[in-house]
Structures are given as structure tokens and as C-alpha cells.
Structure 1
Amino acid sequence: MADNNNNAEAVLVRLDETARNEAQSVLFHAYREEPTFQYLFDHRKPGYSQRVRATIRELIDLYLELNQDAIGVMVDETLVAVAFVGEPELRLNLADQLGWRVRMVLTAGFSSTRRYLEYHRRIRDLLPQRQAHQLPLMGVNPKYQHKGYGRMLLQAVERLCEETPRGSGLVLDTGNSRYLPFYESEGFRSLGKIRLGDFEDHVLFREVLADEDQSSEPRQQQS
């Protein structure tokens, strides 16, 4: 996810429900090979891709229903990177989202839903006392990785958070340790780790200052 200076063709956009299918495709390809998703949705059993696809679809629908921010990077009219941002006040407890739970059980299965809810609860237990934005979904299509789009997207998320001074910072997590140097280079520090089978998921926090530069705002996606 190294940055470069060849992003002249890349455009930041705000996403709405019209981008649902494209966003789902980007995130599916980004998360399918991730250790955290492979553990939570048991990649050794048949139907793994279906469970991942269903979970991403239901999470996207939930965050759109809750009117949370979503931004992306477009290259030559193709959506290549996506991020969904949870507001500081949300502190979402998925276990309380009955409609979401029912849809998850029906599409991803009871076992996967239960495991994901427990994983989400453990993340919530590590969150800072002060309210912070959360980044539950962020991914770059593997075909477009290592071109700087991940850094471009994350920095846009950080600027979005700076516009909301009531939040103390930004929280994200990753089960892929090779991404840690990238996040550390963006100022993230560890809040703790969650043991998932034979590996650990890292929960990270970056303080966000409201008086930092707020240039390069995403434009509204054109339908």
C-alpha cells in the first residue's frame, strides 16, 4: 500500500445507495483473503465466499440506513477503493440491531453471525473512553493495490473526521500484520489485540486534530 505521486487520474467521491453494488464488489475482493474474515466465516467450509459477500452486503446496508459517511476513490470511472465511517456518537452495538441480525442469520448463517457479534463486542471493549470515529469497512480492490489509493482514501477519511471536532480520533482494526507499518506511518497506535485462532487482530487508534489541513474534499458521486 505504498504511496506514490501517480494519482492524477484518481478522484475522491462521496458514495450513496447508488454505489452499493460497486462498493460491495470492492470490499468483497478486498476482504475475502483477509485472515480475520477467513477465521470468522470459516473459509475451510463450503460457502465461505457466500458468507463473506452476505456479511459485507448487510453491513453496507446497515451503515447506509444509519446515514453514515461513505467515500471512495474512482479511477477512470471505476470505483477502486471504499471506506465506510461510523460517527463518534454511534458506538454501534450490532447485537441490538434485530433486523440486521435476522438478515445475517438467514444469509451468513447462525454460527458466523454469532462469531462476528462476539468479535465486534471485543472491539467495542477496546475503544477509547472518549468518542471516536470508527472505520468498520475499508478496502482497495486487489487489482489496484500498491498504487497509493489506500493512503489517499485513508487520508480523506482523516480529513472527514477533522470536520467533526466532537470526535477524539479514528479507530480501525486489521488482522493482516503486513499493513501495520502503513497504518503506523499514518500515526495510528495500538489499542490492543484480539486473539482469533492462531493469529491476532490489531485494533488501532489515531488522534484527529480539528485544526489540521482540510484540503482535497471528496466530490459528490454522480449517478
Structure 2
Amino acid sequence: MENQASQECRAVYLTAEDLRVAASILYNAYHDDPFFMDALYRNDTAQYEQKLRGAIREELNELWQQEQGLIGIFSDERLIGVACIATQQVPLGEARYWHWRLKMLISAGWQSTQAWIKKEHQIVESLPNANCGIIQFIAVSTNEQGKGYGSQLVKTVLSWCDEQPHLDGVGVFVSEPAHNKLFASHGFEKLEQLAIGNVAGELMFYRGQNNE
């Protein structure tokens, strides 16, 4: 049944019209994410949720404008999974554009913006070279989890990676054991142990076909 569910979905690049639904999927998936809780939460749940929505919205819009990898999987006409990959063809971490910093500052606040920048900087510094991307977000709609779509989404990301002529692989910061197991099952290797803010995790890396 799990394989059947995976085969029924189709993967496509997201359009501008898909971004609102994509943001909703990511918000629900990352609501309790350790990094975002550490970076955004300040003993006020309503404020945290507002910051999280704003941060996800601004990052999606930035990735879209910079023509980065925004991939969705659809079941019939419903968007049920999202993966967002940023390559170092655009500035990341401490090199982020000023307009992104300003928008993120307004949406999430100074400390949260700095935490985001530091996270990216640590990941970029730990990647093998500048020809590697970062999985910024990857999630399946809450009511579609446990049906094999997560594996299908990871496979789609790897196929996308292999098709990029100047990309040597993609990294992802993982702080949950279940996520570690998922990525490891698809060929991701532990690259480095990282402590991002107060959150410990692993930087996992997929070496694309261009890097073999």
C-alpha cells in the first residue's frame, strides 16, 4: 500500500500560485521543529507562530525569486509535499542579500534572523565545496504522512540534484532520529556533527552523480 501511494503522486516545480499552500504545509510540519523553537520562540506561542509563518513565507518567496529548487508532489490536483533546495549560486548565510535580511527582520525579528543566518553559515562552511546545495525545507502534509510520500519526496530531490550539471550534492541538517533514518535510507551520509544554537544534530550529505 505504501508503494502504491508513492506511485500515484507526481512531482513538478512549484508555481507562484502554489506558494501559499506550500507555506501552509511547511508551517504545520515545522511548527515543533527544534531549530525554529530555539530560534523563534520567546515564551509567547502566538508570537512564535506569527514569526514562523512570516519566516517561511519570506524564505519561500526569496527562493522563488532566485529560481531555486522548489519542488512539489501532487496527489491528483492536491499539493501534498514540498521540498525547497537552495544552491550557493545565490548568497547564503552571512552573505545573504540585504533585502532578505530586512524582510526577515520585519517578519521574525533580529535574533531570529541572526539565528537563521548562523545556521546557514555553519552548514555552508561544513559542506565539501561551493557547488553543494542545502535542503531548506522538506515536508509532507500532516494528513498524508505515513503513506510513503516522504520517501518519494526525498527521491525526487535526489533526482533533481543529479540533473543539475554544476551541483555536487545536497546537505540537510537533521536533529530528529526518524528523519536521520529516512535520509540515511536514501544514501545520505553523516558529514559532521553540528550544534546550531541550542540544538544538536547532524549534517547529512548526498553526493550527487556529478561528484562520483
Answer yes or no: is the 8 Å Cα contact 2:5–2:149 preserved in 1. no
Deviation string, structure 1 residues 12-37 (Cα, Å, up to 9, x no partner): 12112111101101111111111121
In the TM superposition, residue 5 of structure 1 has moved relative to its aligned partner by 3.1
Matched, 1:153 2:153: yes
Matches within 5 A, 1:1-223: 4-42=3-41, 44-46=43-45, 47-87=47-87, 89-90=89-90, 92-93=92-93, 95-129=95-129, 131-196=131-196, 199-210=199-210
Structure with higher RCO (Cα < 8 A, 6+ apart):
1
Instruction: Return the letter of the residue paired with 1:127.
Output: L
Q: Secondary structure at the match of 2:5?
A: coil
Runs of 5+ unmatched residues, structure 2: none
Change (3 A) 1:20 1:112: same
Aligned length: 211
Answer yes or no: is the 8 Å Cα contact 1:168–1:207 preserved in 2. yes
In the TM superposition, residue 96 of structure 1 has moved relative to its aligned partner by 3.0
Q: Secondary structure at the match of 1:147?
A: coil
Taking structure 2 as the reference length, what is the TM-score of the superposition? 0.90
Which deviates the most, 75-84 or 42-51?
42-51
Instruction: Return the letter of the residue paired with 1:154.
Output: V
Question: How far apart, in 2, do the equivalents of 1:96 and 1:133 lie?
Answer: 15
Deviation string, structure 1 residues 85-112 (Cα, Å, up to 9, x no partner): 2235335235431111111111111121
Question: How far apart, in 2, do the equivalents of 1:76 and 1:15 lie?
Answer: 15
In the TM superposition, residue 80 of structure 1 has moved relative to its aligned partner by 0.9
Taking structure 1 as the reference length, what is the TM-score of the superposition? 0.85
Change (3 A) 1:8 1:118: closer
Instruction: Return the letter of the residue paired with 1:63.
Output: L
Deviation string, structure 1 residues 34-78 (Cα, Å, up to 9, x no partner): 112111112633411111111100100110110112111112321
Change (3 A) 1:123 1:10: same
Answer yes or no: is the 8 Å Cα contact 2:92–2:121 preserved in 1. no
Instruction: Return the letter of the residue paired with 1:20.
Output: L
Answer yes or no: is the 8 Å Cα contact 2:29–2:139 preserved in 1. yes
Change (3 A) 1:99 1:91: closer
Instruction: Return the letter of the residue paired with 2:25.
Output: V
RMSD value over aligned CA atoms?
A: 2.3
Question: How far apart, in 1, do the equivalents of 2:211 and 2:196 lie?
Answer: 38
Task: Using the aligned pairs only, state the percent identity.
Answer: 27
Which deviates the most, 178-187 or 43-52?
43-52
Instruction: Return the letter of the residue paired with 1:112.
Output: S
